[in-house]
């Protein structure tokens, strides 16, 4: 796996990680754990949160710059979402956007957590660990399959479509990464937000995550970045991973539900 793909977070999965890290920081700050652990947990959470925020901003600005360039040149906008998308903004601009994003996002999460009890934070912390593993596992599986399948994206096909292969064909590592869809995977991971809310709101968040995953998947097909089979497989594979991890949470965390 290339270094570039190791860094790729597909937007939403990075945001999920930032939220989980914010929970860890709050848990440590309010004395939810022993002092010996609280310091490293808070500092580590802060450092990783800053890093994840930077990764998200880099990826977002990279896509934005590529989209603007493609529109200007009259090429397919879907190419803004290719695996080689890079940003062309000044370092100072990227730095400002990064810090503003981190500050605003952190304040919003802290506002959500401000009235939570120690018991609730402890529960959130346990679920955050499980959710982090879920996001990490889904991301690793997705990136590994992308490399292994080596499927051409729709906009990468030439006029004769000679490069097209069905979704069952494993082409091997060739630099093409259409199957499965990473953005669909990341959007479907929004289902894990339902783990953090009360039973009354859980169904709404669960359905919302499913709808968001479906909409993002369809949008990827519309812009020509993926085939329908790419997003369908990604959606159900991610849903399966969430289902398995949810079952694990019910076994390991007493007040998971």
Q: What are 44-65's pLDDT values in tens digits?
A: 889 988 988 888 888 888 778 8
Q: What is the pLDDT of residue 256?
A: 63
Per-residue model confidence (pLDDT) at position 75: 67
Q: Within a domain: residue 3?
A: no
Query: Range of 221's domain?
Result: 8-252
Q: What is the pLDDT of residues 27-50, one digit of tens each?
A: 888 776 677 788 888 888 899 889
| Region of 239 on the Ramachandran plot (φ > 0 left; ψ -120 to 50 alpha; else beta) | alpha
Is the residue at 257 inside a domain? no
Asked if the model's pLDDT at residue 87 lies above 70, the reply is no
The answer to whether residue 70 sits within a structural domain is: yes
Tell me whether residue 1 is in a domain: no
Q: With respect to residue 58, please indicate whether it lies within any of the assigned structural domains.
A: yes
Q: How many domains, the chain?
A: 1
* Residue (of 111, 83, 81) closest to 223 by Cα position: 81
DSSP string, 19-32: HHHHHHHHHHHTT-
What is the rounded average pLDDT for all residues in the chain? 84
Residue 122 lies in a domain: yes
The answer to whether residue 2 sits within a structural domain is: no
Asked if pLDDT for residue 98 goes beyond 70, the answer is yes
User: Is 69 inside any structural domain?
Assistant: yes
Tokens 């991971």, located at residue: 189
């Amino acid at each position: 796996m290339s270094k570039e793909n190791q860094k790729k977070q597909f937007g939403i999965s990075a945001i999920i990680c930032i939220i989980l890290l914010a929970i860890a920081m709050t848990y440590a700050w309010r004395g939810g754990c022993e002092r010996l652990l609280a310091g490293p947990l808070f500092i580590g959470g802060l450092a990783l949160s800053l890093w994840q925020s930077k990764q998200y901003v880099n990826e977002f600005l990279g896509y934005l710059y590529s989209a603007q360039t493609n529109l200007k040149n009259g090429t397919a906008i879907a190419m803004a979402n290719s695996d080689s998308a890079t940003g062309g903004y000044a370092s100072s601009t990227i730095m400002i956007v990064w810090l503003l994003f981190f500050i605003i996002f952190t304040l919003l999460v802290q506002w959500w957590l401000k009235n939570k009890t120690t018991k609730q934070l402890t529960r959130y912390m346990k679920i955050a660990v499980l959710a982090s593993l879920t996001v990490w596992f889904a991301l690793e599986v997705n990136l590994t399959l992308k490399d292994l399948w080596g499927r051409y994206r729709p906009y990468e096909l030439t006029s004769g479509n000679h490069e097209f292969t069905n979704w069952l064909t494993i082409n091997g590592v060739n630099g093409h990464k259409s199957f499965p869809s990473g953005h669909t995977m990341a959007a479907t991971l929004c289902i894990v937000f339902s783990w953090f809310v009360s039973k009354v709101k859980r169904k709404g968040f669960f359905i919302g995550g499913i709808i968001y995953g479906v909409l993002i998947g369809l949008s990827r097909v519309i812009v020509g970045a993926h085939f329908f089979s790419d997003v369908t497989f990604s959606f159900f594979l991610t849903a399966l991973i969430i289902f398995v991890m949810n079952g694990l949470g019910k076994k390991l965390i007493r007040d998971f539900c």
